[in-house]
Amino acid sequence: MNTALKGLKVLDFTQMMTGPFATMMLGDSGADVIKVEQPDGDPFRRSGETTLNGDGAFFLGVNRNKRGIVLDLKSEDGRAAALALALEADVLVENFRPGLTDKAGLGYEALRKLNPRLVYCSISGFGRHGPDKNRPALDMVIQAVSGVMQVTGTEESGPLKTGFPFSDLVTALVATIGILTALQARERTGEGQRVDLSMLDASIFSQVPRDVYFDLTGKTPGRMGNQHWDIVPNNTYATADGRDIMIITINDKFWHVLCDAMDASELKGDPRFATKAARLENRAEVDARLSAIFATRDLAQWERVLSAAGAIYGSVRTWPEVFSDPHVVETLLKTVQHPKGGEFKVINNPLQFSGTPTQIRSAPPLLGQHNEEVLGRGASGWPSVDG
């Protein structure tokens, strides 16, 4: 299969979620990703209570399309083997504590002299410089420090984390963009470069366009839950069968569409609701009226009438509903075979390319599975690992 990054060699020294997710994206597009683990393995292998043949579910979710080796970077032989691989790599990705790669002889300044075409991506929690450079960083800590939690939740709940590891994932996506940008620049200049990214910076960057709002007003956006500061209605409402539905009307046209679909055309002419400004002024009354209306029918009935009317809506689906949706089953879910037996489903890469489609070629590797293949039989610097 013709893949966009075929022939690209990626040396992956990352662990946990952010770095592995970024390198997995490269692997999905055909890059040869070599995952380098310490003798104890990526801690994500042991994270969580759900495992398959010894590998944690979270590890299995972000490490497909990689070859796995074990190198002890505390040993001279391990560092020598890592250096040999780095000299042949197109991309190196690491998320060690700042300074550790320099001690191991794998720092950017040293490697770029030996491999000037190398794109070297460093991912950190709080940045490689400054007083917090060695501070431990986890997703929820970064959500707190970046301000993401400050605008998540309601006034009653107080600040909340998101329901998924937002800072981990947004950092991984930005890192992937950075790597691909540096590779494109290399096509013109012939030179690699360092791509430096912190989880904190990526999470703060993700809050655009609220940055301009804050600069112009000096106000922190309020915690509004499912509501929107400039749109009413923009909220979830409970249906008769105890389900929830998201309703949005971005202008008067869609307000009229919604009113007709609800058999409540009289609301269109009500001066409290007739215009956007009036609905904003009377937010609580709008929510109260819609809450009463949506409580009169079950979700399936509302789905039919709102869809037929062309309203802006979305039912709040459960995970079983999402992952049994025909589109999701046919397009996004792929079954992967674990190297020791058993199978599990993963979400396929959502990018659809007409000429160079992504592909899931292999399951996440066992610890040290490809040592001989990558380093050669009897290569020094790595322990014997069964499997």
Kindly list the catalytic residues: 168
Q: Which residues, at least 6 apart from 30, have a Cβ–Cβ distance to it below 8 Å? A: 1, 3, 4, 5, 6, 7, 8, 356, 359
Q: How many whole angstroms separate alpha carbon 385 and alpha carbon 64?
A: 19
**Six-digit token string for 224:** 């509004």
Q: How many whole angstroms separate alpha carbon 91 and alpha carbon 194?
A: 10
**Six-digit token string for 314:** 């979305």
Residue that is written with structure tokens 């995952």 in the block: 35
Q: Specify whether the CB–CB gap between 84 and 115 falls below 8 A.
A: no
Q: Specify whether the CB–CB gap between 233 and 306 falls below 8 A.
A: no
Q: What is the DSSP string of 229-277?
A: SS-SSEEEEE-TTS-EEEEE--SHHHHHHHHHHTT-THHHH-TTTSSHH
Q: Hey, is 347 helix, strand or coil? A: strand
Q: Hey, is 120 helix, strand or coil? A: strand
**Six-digit token string for 27:** 């692997």
Q: Specify whether the CB–CB gap between 295 and 238 falls below 8 A.
A: yes
